[in-house]
Amino acid sequence: MKPIYLSFAFLGTLVVASASLNFRWLTESQHWLRAVISNESGSFNGDVVEKRIATQLLSARHEVHQAALKPDDALREWLGKRIENGTMGDLSSLTSAVQMQFPNYVRLAVCSLQSPSVEDLLQKAFEWGSQSEKSFTHQAIVASARSARLGFECVIVTGERLPDFQPGQLSRGHDNFYILCPLCHRGQACEVPPLMRSVTLECPQCHRPYVMLAVDTKGRYHHANEFLTGYAPPARFPAGITRLNEMLLIWNSVVQSIRYVLDDADGNEKNDAWQTAAETQKLGTGDCEDSSIYLADWLIARGFNARVALGHYAERGGHAWVIVQLDGETYLLECTNPEVNTSRPPLIKDVGSRYVPDCTFDREGFYSRKNSSVPWDGDYWSQAKWQRVIPTPDRTVAKAVADTAK
Ligand SMILES: [Zn+2]
C-alpha cells in the first residue's frame, strides 16, 4: 500500500468584490436600492436561492460536458455555521479551514460571490460553474442576504472528494479511497494497486496494519473476517462428548473431506481467491486458507474460541492454520496434511514451534502483532502483543458473502 500524498490545488479562487456597493453609495442611491432590496430580500429564501445556484452550476457543467456535482451536506452544514457565526474569514483562510476539516478532498476551489440582485448572483454562479474542473465531484453552497441589506452573497465550495473506503467498491475498479485509520483516527488517502488478491493496509501515520482484505471467488474484495459467515455443516455429535473430542472430530472431518489444492497450479498469487466455508465444503477442495476458514467457521459456530492464523510455516513460506483456546490450553490445527493424527490433541507447545503468525482473524475482527520484529513466543491471545481492529461493516459486501453461502 502506498499512501497518496494529498495535493491541494487551489484553483483560481474567484472573488467578486463589491467595492462599489458600500454605505456611501447606499446613501446616494438610497431610493433605488431600497426598492430592489425590499422586493428581493423581503422574500429571500436561502434554500431556494441555493437550489437555483445549484441548477446554474449544473447547466454550466452540462454545457462543457461535465458530470453533475453531488451536494456535500456535511460540508454545507459546516460552511453555513461558519458564515452564520461570522467566522468565515477571507477566501484563503476559509480554503485552509475546509482542507483541515475535510481531508477527503484532494482538490478544492472556493469562491465568494456578491451582488445587489439574485439574478445577477445566479449569472455569476453560472460563470463560476463553467470554469470548474472536470474531476470535481462535490459541491456545497451557502446563500445569504448580506447584512445592512447590501444585497446578496453566496459561498460555493467545489472539489474532488475521494470516495469513502468500501471493499465492495474496490472490486469495481476504484482504487483511490479516503479512509479513517481505526487505530489513530487520522484520515488518509489510500491507493490499492490493481490486481492485488489479498492486501493488508498499513497506516502511514501510526504504522500499524488496520485493514486486511481478500478477494472472493467472484472477484470481490471483503474484509478477511467477513469470510467467516457463521456456517456449520449439518452434523450430529455423540451424546456427552467432551469439548476436546468435539474439536478433534470437527478437525478430522475437515482434514478428511477437503483435498488440498492450490487455487492456481502455477502458484500465481494474482489468481488466489478465498472461499467461504460453504463453498469449500461443496467443492471438497481448497488451499490452506480455504480449509482453515471452513474449520474455524464450524468451530466458532459450535461455540469454540477459534481464529484463522496467517503467517509462515518454516521453509514453506506463506501459510494458514487455525488456533483454538480451550480450558486454558491453545491448540494449533493444521488442515492441509491428510496424514495428521487427528486423535491426538495438537497442543501448541508440541506442534506450534515452526508456525509464525503475522495476523489472525475471527468473525468480529482482525488482529495483527504489535511488534513483529520481536521473536515469536507462541502467545496468540495477549492484548499486549496483539492489536485488534473491528472493521466497519459494509452492508453490500456482507450481503454478497451471505448470498455466496446459500
Ligand atoms: Zn493510524
Q: What is the pLDDT of residues 95-152, one digit of tens each?
A: 999 988 898 898 899 999 989 888 999 999 999 898 888 999 999 999 988 765 678 8
How far does the centroid of ligand 1 lie from the alpha carbon of residue 204, in Å?
A: 7
319 conformational bin, left if phi > 0, alpha if psi -120 to 50, beta if neither? beta
How far does the centroid of ligand 1 lie from the alpha carbon of residue 383, in Å?
A: 18
How far does the centroid of ligand 1 lie from the alpha carbon of residue 181, in Å?
A: 5
Q: Please state which of the four CATH numbers 3.30.450, 1.10.3470, 2.40.160, 3.10.620 is assigned to the domain occupying 196-405.
A: 3.10.620
How far does the centroid of ligand 1 lie from the alpha carbon of residue 348, in Å?
A: 32
Q: Which residues, in sequence order, are bridge partners of residue 8?
A: none
Contact 162, 179 (CB under 8 A): no
Question: What pLDDT score does 367 carry?
Answer: 95
How far does the centroid of ligand 1 lie from the alpha carbon of residue 135, in Å?
A: 28
**Phi/psi at 56 (nearest 5 deg)?**
-60, -45
Provide the residue ranges of all domains of the chain, joining segments of one domain with +: 2-161, 196-405
230 versus 87: the higher-pLDDT residue is 230
How far does the centroid of ligand 1 lie from the alpha carbon of residue 185, in Å?
A: 6
If you average pLDDT over residues 204-228, what whole number do you get?
A: 89
How far does the centroid of ligand 1 lie from the alpha carbon of residue 208, in Å?
A: 6
How far does the centroid of ligand 1 lie from the alpha carbon of residue 209, in Å?
A: 8
Assign 7 a pLDDT band (cuts: 50, 70, 90). very low
How far does the centroid of ligand 1 lie from the alpha carbon of residue 323, in Å?
A: 27
Question: What pLDDT score does 323 carry?
Answer: 98
Write out the CATH class of domain 2-161.
alpha beta
Assign 356 a pLDDT band (cuts: 50, 70, 90). very high
- Residues 404, 275: Cα–Cα separation, whole Å: 9
Question: What pLDDT score does 342 carry?
Answer: 87
Please tell me what DSSP assigns to residue 375: P
How far does the centroid of ligand 1 lie from the alpha carbon of residue 179, in Å?
A: 10
How far does the centroid of ligand 1 lie from the alpha carbon of residue 189, in Å?
A: 12
Question: What pLDDT score does 172 carry?
Answer: 63
Assign 292 a pLDDT band (cuts: 50, 70, 90). very high
Q: How far lies 375's CA from each of 64, 350, 358, in Å?
A: 61, 18, 12
- Residues 260, 105: Cα–Cα separation, whole Å: 46
- Residues 301, 295: Cα–Cα separation, whole Å: 10
Per the listing, cell 484563503 goes with 92
Q: How far lies 151's CA from each of 18, 113, 119, 285, in Å?
A: 10, 11, 11, 73
Least confident of 86-90, 212-216, 351-355: 86-90
If you average pLDDT over residues 151-178, what whole number do you get?
A: 83
How far does the centroid of ligand 1 lie from the alpha carbon of residue 187, in Å?
A: 8
- Residues 355, 320: Cα–Cα separation, whole Å: 9
How far does the centroid of ligand 1 lie from the alpha carbon of residue 220, in Å?
A: 25
What cell was used for 315? 521453509
- Residues 55, 51: Cα–Cα separation, whole Å: 6
Q: Which amino acid is located at 16 in the chain?
A: V
Residue 181 contacts by C-beta under 8 Å, 6 or more apart in sequence?
A: 187, 188, 203, 205, 206, 208, 210
Question: What pLDDT score does 23 carry?
Answer: 24
- Chain-centroid distance of CA 232 in Å reads 29
How far does the centroid of ligand 1 lie from the alpha carbon of residue 207, in Å?
A: 6
123 versus 40: the higher-pLDDT residue is 123
Contact 159, 124 (CB under 8 A): no
Question: What pLDDT score does 165 carry?
Answer: 83
Kind and range of the H or E run holding 99: helix 91-101
Contact 64, 128 (CB under 8 A): no
Residue 362 contacts by C-beta under 8 Å, 6 or more apart in sequence?
A: 225, 228, 296, 300, 306, 307, 308
How far does the centroid of ligand 1 lie from the alpha carbon of residue 99, in Å?
A: 19
How far does the centroid of ligand 1 lie from the alpha carbon of residue 210, in Å?
A: 8
Per the listing, cell 478437525 goes with 251
